[in-house]
Structure 1
Amino acid sequence: MTTMAIRTSPSAPKRTGWAMMKDMMDIRIIRRMAKARGPFGGHLSHHYSFGAIRSDTRRIRIIMIAGLVCLGISTSGMADTDEARLATIEKRMATLERQIEKDRSTHGRAVAALRRSEQALADAARKQSELEAQQDATRRELEQINADIRRQQLRLRDNRAMLAAQLRARQAMGDDPWLKVLLSPADPAQTGRMLSYLQYLQHSQVSRIEGARTQLAELTSLHEAARKTQAVAARLVAEQREITENLRHARAERERAVKRLAGTVAGRAEALDRLRQDRARLEAVVTALPAAAQPFASSATGSSASAPEIAALFPKGPIRRLKGRLGWPVPGTVQARFGTQRQEGRMQWQGLLIGAAEGTPVRAVADGEVLFAAWMPYYGLVGIVDHGGGFLSLYGHNQSLVRRPGERVRAGDMLGRVGISGGRQTPALYFEIRQGGNPVNPERWLAATK
């Protein structure tokens, strides 16, 4: 910063002690104002606020009065020009204060709009997941009906073949086989056997005809059921398209909210200050949750089991014994690592940022209990799981959350889906592991391969 000094020259009028001190005070204020430019003149340093400006103003006035007393000069001797300069500075300070208050109000409205749009996006994503599950169930039901139809068709074909064989055998015996048997010169024993055979053929023929009729009726019923199931599937597809369209509208609203938010944010320093506040809120949540939670029992029930192929990627047991073997919460590319510098300023990453396709399932890395599932500034939709023994895992920027606080989960169970909540432009998952409230490097706990 350029050093400003008060110079005197032989031709300049002699300055009084009050005037020289006043110049120094004005210089201090101008320097402060240069550092604290408002949203229309640059960015506002996160080290400076209007509370500090008001405090400095009071301090300056006290110093002025003390200086007047020490110099033996009455306040009534203040020059008109000095009063005008002080009034101008105070007016500039008041204007800047109003601008910052207005900016904060706009920022608050933008955050509220962002929260509403992302909640709408989460609701739409959850409805779409439910609809996809219903559609899968309908598809399986239709496959079962088609399999039953194929079996009935095979049985009907066999019955028709047997019936045709019986008709050919009767035709070979003539128009009236009963009369031929009775009038034949064969011995009575053979005649009795032939009559029994004819009676068996007659009953078998009638039975197979009735069976064919019954099977035809069942086949007709199955075809009708299949037709209704296909109609339900078509309706579900139409509803899914409507849900997808709602998702697009919700995303467009969220993007507009993000643009409004970006328009009210004044520079990197203020973004860093806001990020530190968000980190403090998150620290408070993570610190407070274990104290209020019930101790986790690894044998507890109540969570849905993961599919075998998913469960195979997540070893079982207490998390403290699984260092270096935990399954990854989501397959993807690590975009930011623990301890590296953040783009927002001097802060460091306290977890991993894992890029993945939007909607990819986010899974619990170990058994535990869901302690927190809600929206937070910057982190969007956040889920926190207590694994017992002082271990917590955190999952941020979700598109939607499928677990509620108090639910028990197993390693590999789905917690939510990867999204862009919290103001991100690209989908990713923010993942932390904490031990005793302190963040630890997640890559030391996760398996070497995803």
Structure 2
Amino acid sequence: MSFLWPALVAGLLSLPLAASQEAIDRQQQQLAQLQKQIKASQSKLIASQSSRDKASKALRQDELAISKQAAAIRANRNKLASLNTQLAELAREQTALERQYEQQQRQLAAQIRASWVAGQGETGQLLLKQNSADKQRLLTYYHYLNQARIQAMEAIDSTKQALTDNHRRQLERKAQLERTQEKLDNQQQSLRQQQKKREQTLAKLESQLKRESRRLNQLEVDSEILAQAIEEALAALAARPVPLEGLKKLKGKLDWPLPGKVKHRFGSHRQGQLRWNGLLIAAREGRNVEVVAPGQVVFADWLRGYGMVVVVDHGDEYLSLYGHAQSLLKEVGDRVEGGEVIALSGDSGGQSDSGLYFEIRHRGLAVDPAPYLRRR
């Protein structure tokens, strides 16, 4: 994305293939420390651009807040869907229990009628028969008939209790549904307010970038921030204990991170001498962004110019990068499988339109992603 990149990645390409145990131990420092280093580098570079410092920091805070709120909204939408599924299942269970209850009542009524009819003809005979086999037979018959009625009544009581429990669970789920919906409504209102605040911050930022030279300088600094972040991530994970196979064997087989029209392609003119180092894919805000291959998250944070960014290491010095996200759903150190949702598309980083910025890098250098992705 910048003609400054060869110099910026030279140090990375010169890293030794093997290192002493002491060096490996240093490289395997906690990924949390890596994040602190990248943030410190970013802050230092941003500070050099005093005219944009305050607005850039404000934009970062606005977009981090939007990211957090969008993730919470997604979680509550999933919860609402789950609660509605549970309610539907409880309603089906209630219908079945009601049918069972009605059937049990009919069976009990039939037993009572049969007992009454039988008793009308046999009660007198039973009283007249003393010490006879017929008397014993009738007593045994009435005993079993009485047991059947008791069992039928117990079954009815059990079904009534099941209906009561079902009704209670439905009321609980409905109450949860109402609370979750209320929380979701509040979150969406808060999100709209945060987005409005971001628009105001962005307008202020853009007013400082009217001159072409200042805009070009911004892109160069943004590229430097990204290059340094990736370089530090690679260096920290150079001695990764879990091997990954890279993307070479998957060339031409990778699924796209999300559907959408490609607005800018790799190598196309961007501004001045700068060219695009990846693909800019148009997509509605909040669409699922899927990682293209198995790997490990090495960076997940806000970067100036790119907004909410997640970088995944695929091994063999291959990385994939996903920028301008609305929200990040993974953290540094997470292992991810191909097709797993890692972010939501958005317009962070000061973009006017929603979408996704996607890069593939090998040995620190950006490569054209198109040959790695399936044709569509």
> What TM bracket, shorter-length normalisation?
0.7 to 0.9
Question: For residues 261 and 134 of structure 2, what CA distance do their matches in structure 1 show?
Answer: 87
In 1, Cα distance between equivalents of 2:159 and 2:197:
57
Equivalent residue in structure 2 for 1:334, among 259, 262, 280: 262
8 Å contact kept, 1:296–1:387: no
Aligned 8 A contact 2:265 2:276 in 1? yes
Give, as a single letter, the amino acid of the residue that structure 2 aligns with 1:346.
Q
- Which structure: larger Rg? 1
Classify 1:438/1:105 alpha carbon distance in 2 versus 1 (closer, same or farther; 3 Å): closer
Letter of the 1:332 counterpart: G
Match of 2:287 among 357, 360, 363: 360
Alignment of 1:75-224 (within 5 A): 105-175=50-120, 177-183=122-128, 188-224=132-168
- Aligned counterparts of 2:122 and 2:192: Cα–Cα separation in 1: 78
CA deviation digits over 1:369-414, x for unaligned, max 9? Answer: 1000111111001110000001000000000101111111111111
Q: Which runs of 5+ in 1 are unaligned?
A: 1-102, 300-316
1: CA distance between counterparts of 2:243 and 2:150? 64
Rounded Cα–Cα distance in structure 1 between residues aligned with 2:62 and 2:119: 85
- Check conservation: 2:296, 2:312, Cα contact below 8 A: yes
Q: What is the CA-CA distance between 1:215 and the residue it aligns to?
A: 1.6
Long gaps (5+) in structure 2 = 1-47
Query: What's the secondary structure of 1:362's corresponding residue?
Result: strand
Q: Deviations over 1:289-324 (max 9, x none)?
A: 11211426368xxxxxxxxxxxxxxxxx75221100
Structure 2 match to 1:82? none
What is the rounded CA distance, in whole Å, between the counterparts of 1:296 and 1:388 in structure 2? 11
Q: In structure 2, what is the Cα distance between the partners aligned to 1:156 and 1:257?
A: 64
Question: Which residue in the other structure is 1:389 paired with?
Answer: 316
In 1, Cα distance between the equivalents of 2:77 and 2:336? 22
TM-score (ref. length: structure 2): 0.82
2: CA distance, partners of 1:364 / 1:104: 33
**Off by >6 Å, runs of 4+ in structure 1:** none
CA gap of 1:104–1:276, structure 2 versus 1, over 3 A, is closer
**Which string of whole-angstrom CA distances, capped at 9 and with x for unpartnered residues, describes residues 209-231 of structure 1?**
12212221221121022112101
CA spacing shift, 1:175–1:320, aligned 2, 3 Å: same
Q: Does the 8 Å contact 1:399/1:418 carry over to 2?
A: yes
Q: Which residue of 2 aligns with 1:287?
A: 231
Name 1:399's counterpart in structure 2: 326
Alpha-carbon RMSD: 2.1
| Residue 408 (1) aligns with residue 335 (2) | yes
| C-alpha deviation, 1:112, in angstroms | 1.3
Contact 1:170 1:177 in 2 (8 A): no
Match of 2:254, SS? coil
Q: What CA distance in whole angstroms lies between the structure 1 residues aligned with 2:89 and 2:330?
A: 32
Alignment partner for residue 345 of structure 1, among 260, 263, 272? 272
Higher relative contact order, structure no. (Cα contacts within 8 Å, ≥ 6 residues apart): 2
User: By how many angstroms is 1:273 displaced?
Assistant: 1.3
Query: Contact conserved, 2:246 with 2:317, CA < 8 A, in 1?
Result: no
Q: Letter of the aligned partner of 1:278 in structure 2?
A: D
**Does the alignment pair 1:255 with 2:183?**
no
Aligned partners of 1:247 and 1:429: how far apart in 2? 20
Give the SS at the match of 2:321: strand
Cα distance in 2 for residues equivalent to 1:418 and 1:276: 24
CA distance in 2 between counterparts of 1:298 and 1:394 reads 19
Query: TM-score normalized by structure 1?
Result: 0.69
Q: What secondary structure sits across from 2:324 in the alignment?
A: strand
Q: Distance in 1 between matches of 2:306 and 2:176?
A: 39
Sequence identity percentage: 32
Tell me if the contact between 1:106 and 1:264 (Cα under 8 Å) persists in the aligned partners.
yes
Offset of 1:145 from its aligned partner? 2.3
